[in-house]
Structure 1
Amino acid sequence: MKRAFPWHIVVFLAPAVLVYSLFSALPLIDTLRLGFYATSEAGHYSFAGLANYATILFDPQWSQAFWNAMWNNLKFFLIHMLLQNPIGLVLATLFSLKGLRGERTYRTLIFLPTLLSVVIIGFIWQLILSPLWGVGESLLSYAGLADYFAPWLGQESSALFTIALVSVWQYIGIPMMLIYAALLAVPEEIVEAAHAEGAGALRIFWEIKLPLIWPTLGLVTILTFVANFNAFDLVYSVKGALAGPNYATDILGTFFYRTFFGYQAQIGSPTMGAAVATLMFLVILAGVGMYFYLVQRKLTRYEL
């Protein structure tokens, strides 16, 4: 008997495929194409092959800014990995404990900054950390730490780290909630059996709960990587497109913005901007590929 074609599947998938194609796949393909072209003074496009990429990677006028942005982006990601995700794991573990009073309120308060606009977050922290009218110095004085206050956003050595800490504070609720949901999904029978065998809470966490939530920790890691290498809005709202001081907070997102749209004395170039965007895409693709090859395969074998 001949089977009927599953038209209902096509009908349900068509809207999602159409939206994804129009607003994601086609713009990505066109960006990849545009990176192989150069723009003349008259605005005409001509095929240039890999010339744009060679200019960005090896021309001293471009490569210094690009590699500086790449290095800053890597530091931005590492700060999140070393602070945001471990703190999110600790908070999720605490909230998963039975009998904790007010845990719903604490979860809501910690997750709330995630819902706020990045522009508002950047403006508020600029006011707090301002050495002229900010309240940061006063708050530190209450704890006897006023001598440690400094214009952290205005110093090359501390500006990027300060913005990264603001980003950690804003988005720590995301890994916290993902890990919290994974901990709640751990079978209660396994935990009770471990208790019956005399295992303590710390041993149960390290030997039972942590191995069972490794896939979620891997997901949190790759989401952090993709989000950080796509970051732009917080740096732009706090330090502007120049990502000062002296490009100390410049990341790939702000470098792309100046290249594509231009800023002050720098003239924008859509073709060079497309090349920068393509390099960003390749960096993210390489990171995701390494995760699936080095981490996800081992997690899959571990589950089997």
Structure 2
Amino acid sequence: MMFSKRTKEHKPFPWHLWGFLGPGLLIYLTFSVYPLLDTLILSLYEEQAGQSEFVGLKNFITLVTDENWSSAFWNALSNNLQFFAFHMLLQNPIGLLLAVLLSSPKLRLASSYRTLIFMPTMLSVVIIGFVWQLILSPIWGISEEFLYSIGLGQYFDAWLGKEGSALVTLSFISVWQFVGIPMMLIYATLLNIPDDIIDASTVDGASPMQTFFHIKLPLILPTIAMVSILTFVANFNAFELIYAVKGALAGPNFSTDLLGTFFYRTFFGFQLQQGSSTMGAAVATLMFLIILVGVMLFLFFIQRRIQRFQF
């Protein structure tokens, strides 16, 4: 009888948890959820004579088909894909290589190297862009003299001033600044691998290269997948570096225009272009959908197939 009475008793709801979760949840709803929902709703309206009129998907259709909008949108999307490809093919492999080298117990001054490589990540993107703009300037920059001093002066050019090289140059600058993030994430995972497993492979006669590809690499694949997702999200939200170096027009001739700078000009307006909050909301919504679909596809086709190990 006592047992049955105890089972029927319900524990009181822990209302005190709201005291801990409430402030954080309120801030998240106010500054993340509400602006997102408001943007999605705003993208379905159109401004006419100071009044907002519901137009459904008209703004999106205009954005991708109208000749006044589509060329700029597809150019920004194409440049964004190239920007992301540079980071995936350069930043993450370099970060992986640096993490492997810095995790070697035979490397001296590893902590100093790690700090120096990660230091640009902590600096402001505006400062990084301004400094590199000075360095690469054909007029007062030091890059020309440096290349001539090492016998490579014939390769110097106004890389930031030409349509064919401006986006590539900015991609290299961004890779240089943020390569410390994948390096540190992968480095922390490598340190978490038990020494017993590495020692066992050495006893079995495995070379350092075999140990890495057959033992370490499978164990760090989940971290590499997470780094890839973070890279995708960060690159399709990129704005500061392009704006700091090339301005809102993302010159020359919009060759460095990304979705972030395109959204800025659309929403706030710039020079002769008049801003439109509804079209800007449509651009922001498409950016959100691109990121959402990309992350979902990655999680469905790649992330769920990666086997995780827990030590």
TM-score normalised over the length of structure 1: 0.98
Q: Deviations over 1:231-260 (max 9, x none)?
A: 000000000000000000000000000000
In 2, Cα distance between the equivalents of 1:202 and 1:226? 32
* 3-state SS in 1 of match to 2:53: strand
- Paired position in structure 1 for 2:13: 5
How much does 1:18 deviate?
0.7
Amino acid at match of 1:103: A
How much does 1:299 deviate?
1.2
Q: 2:277 aligns with which of 251, 258, 270?
A: 270
How much does 1:11 deviate?
2.3
How much does 1:8 deviate?
3.2
Amino acid at match of 1:241: A
In 1, Cα distance between the equivalents of 2:32 and 2:147? 46
Q: 2:195 aligns with which of 188, 200, 204?
A: 188
- Paired position in structure 2 for 1:246: 253
TM-score normalised over the length of structure 2: 0.95
Uncovered stretches (5+) of structure 1, i.e. residues with no partner: none
Amino acid at match of 2:56: G
Q: Deviations over 1:149-195 (max 9, x none)?
A: 00000000000000000000000000000000010011111101001
How much does 1:48 deviate?
1.0
Amino acid at match of 2:45: Y
1:39 aligns with 2:86: no
In 2, Cα distance between the equivalents of 1:109 and 1:24? 34
Amino acid at match of 1:25: V
Q: 1:30 aligns with which of 38, 56, 69?
A: 38
Q: 2:204 aligns with which of 197, 201, 218?
A: 197
Amino acid at match of 1:270: S
In 1, Cα distance between the equivalents of 2:176 and 2:249? 24
RMSD over aligned Cα atoms: 1.0
Amino acid at match of 1:3: K
Pairing of 1:155-194 with structure 2 (within 5 A): 155-194=162-201
- Paired position in structure 1 for 2:218: 211
How much does 1:100 deviate?
1.1
How much does 1:303 deviate?
5.1
* 3-state SS in 1 of match to 2:32: helix
After TM superposition, the structure 1 stretch with the greater mean CA deviation from structure 2, 147-156 or 97-106, is 97-106
* 3-state SS in 2 of match to 1:38: strand
Pairing of 1:105-184 with structure 2 (within 5 A): 105-184=112-191
Q: 1:93 aligns with which of 79, 95, 100?
A: 100
In 2, Cα distance between the equivalents of 1:119 and 1:43? 36
- Paired position in structure 1 for 2:23: 15
How much does 1:276 deviate?
0.3
- Paired position in structure 1 for 2:5: none
Larger Rg: 2
* 3-state SS in 1 of match to 2:302: helix
Tell me how many residue pairs correspond in the alignment.
302
